[in-house]
Amino acid sequence: MNNFDQTEIEATIAQVLRDAGVSKNVYYNRPRSSTSDLTDFVVCKVSGGIDDRFAFGQCTVSINLFARNIKNMKNSKKLSVMQGKVLAAVPRSIENIITDGTPRIIGDTDDGNGYHARIINYKVTIKATQ
């Protein structure tokens, strides 16, 4: 059995997002404390665990983009800019992580806390390390 580290995968992708300027605020889970002072933030996490396929692992990395509503309306422009940065930044391969290159973008939803969220899911293959 391989030791695929979910935290390592999340940290690697989160750093790519920070370096690309998607947001200064990148988390691995939705913040429990108030986000009222943030205009945007990102949650980057492995969704549903990692399947061990012997020489490699497979999982979905979910990148959740949050933009503060403007006058109780979705900030579409901000979400689109953030999405463009994600699509331009996430590489086909980084370290032992390979993305499928064709993310699934899930429509925007109001989170009920003053933000709209857009979800971008990447299917990821992780090369086993020895």
- How far is Cα 36 from Cα 101, in angstroms, rounded to an integer? 34
Section 93-118 average pLDDT: 91
pLDDT above 70 (res 130) = no
* pTM of the shown model: 0.91
35-85: per-residue pLDDT in tens?
Answer: 778 999 999 999 888 888 878 889 999 999 999 999 999 999 999 999 999
The CATH fold assigned to 6-127 is Alpha-Beta Plaits (3.30.70)
The tokens 């331009």 sit on which residue? 88
Least confident of 29-33, 67-71, 81-85, 111-115: 29-33
CA distances from 44 to 55, 62, 70 (A): 25, 6, 24
